[in-house]
Amino acid sequence: MNDVQRSVTSAFTIAEMEARKIRHDSTELWMRAVQPALWLLIFGEVFNTVRGLAPGGLNYMQYITPGVLAQSVLFVAIFYGITIVWERDVGLLTKLLSTPSPRISVVVGKALAAGVRGIFQGVMIFALALIIGVNIRFDPLDVLGVFLVVVLFAMCFASLSMTLASFLKTRDRMMGIGQAITIPLFFGSNAIYPVSLMPPWLQAISTYNPLTYVVDAMRAMLLTGDYSGLPVDIAALLISTVFFILCASALLKRLIQ
């Protein structure tokens, strides 16, 4: 086996490890579905009465569904840094790093696991959208595309979170930074309102916000069917994912030193 094959096999092994844990105890996954459900059922329903909030003739429930999906995946992914700090604390990380598996595979494996959780979030939100009758284009290819974006996005932020963990090193600090990152990203994106409603300075920031691109891609596939922005969205996401995976792999060792 060459290095690339080894990295890929090991990454899937790490992801398998996480998947097996979820299989033994999936309580957390169900709990994680509560928050997006509340966003849709309460926030969505209330703001649905406001006319003209969503552009392009969409109703607000339609508009917010991709946003809520992206946000819930973000929340799942951003806490992977805490998981890895916890694994460091109990000695699991040391053990993983003492195997001949390449470091990058630990990061990619964890990131993939975040992706699996993200897919679960997606399934839950789609199910809820169906139940409450949100009008979404359930085209199989589009749904598949959304899941791909979900996985990439989860991988991107799980890696970012692991990168931060290698600097911050404690769970308490990671909890703090998790909150400090997710909320501005969420409100500084097009997840729950269009960018055009933002003040100019926030509009400028939202251009650099990966969440904006993710939500844009999801909206294109689930609602508008206008794929013109898709290449840029995917490229932006792909570049940041690779960047953060490389950062986290290079810095992971800091955690055990």
Q: What is the binding site for other proteins (CB under 8 A)?
A: 1, 6, 9-10, 13-14, 16-17, 20-21, 24-25, 90-92, 94-102, 253, 256-257
User: How far apart (Å, rounded) are the C-alpha atoms in residues 102 and 11?
Assistant: 9
Rounded to a whole number of angstroms, the minimum distance from the CB of residue 116 to other proteins is 15
| Between 18 and 233, CB nearer to other proteins | 18
User: How far apart (Å, rounded) are the C-alpha atoms in residues 74 and 57?
Assistant: 27
| Between 137 and 253, CB nearer to other proteins | 253
Contact 190, 67 (CB under 8 A): yes
- Count Cβ atoms within 10 A of the Cβ of residue 131 and give its class: 0-12 exposed, 13-18 middle, 19 or more buried: exposed
Nearest to 110 by CA among 208, 11, 185: 11
User: How far apart (Å, rounded) are the C-alpha atoms in residues 153 and 218?
Assistant: 11
What's the CA dihedral at 218, 134, 182, 14 to 10 degrees? -70
| Between 168 and 191, CB nearer to other proteins | 168
Rounded to a whole number of angstroms, the minimum distance from the CB of residue 9 to other proteins is 7
| Between 46 and 256, CB nearer to other proteins | 256
Rounded to a whole number of angstroms, the minimum distance from the CB of residue 99 to other proteins is 4
Rounded to a whole number of angstroms, the minimum distance from the CB of residue 46 to other proteins is 39
| Between 92 and 234, CB nearer to other proteins | 92
Rounded to a whole number of angstroms, the minimum distance from the CB of residue 12 to other proteins is 9
- Give the 3-state secondary structure of residue 191: coil
Distance, C-alpha 10 to centroid of its chain: 22
Which residues, including other chains, have CB under 8 Å from residue 55's CB and lie 6 or more apart?
63, 194, 196
Amino acid at 142: D
User: How far apart (Å, rounded) are the C-alpha atoms in residues 223 and 63?
Assistant: 8
Rounded to a whole number of angstroms, the minimum distance from the CB of residue 137 to other proteins is 38
User: How far apart (Å, rounded) are the C-alpha atoms in residues 150 and 70?
Assistant: 7
Rounded to a whole number of angstroms, the minimum distance from the CB of residue 242 to other proteins is 22
| Between 92 and 202, CB nearer to other proteins | 92
| Between 98 and 207, CB nearer to other proteins | 98
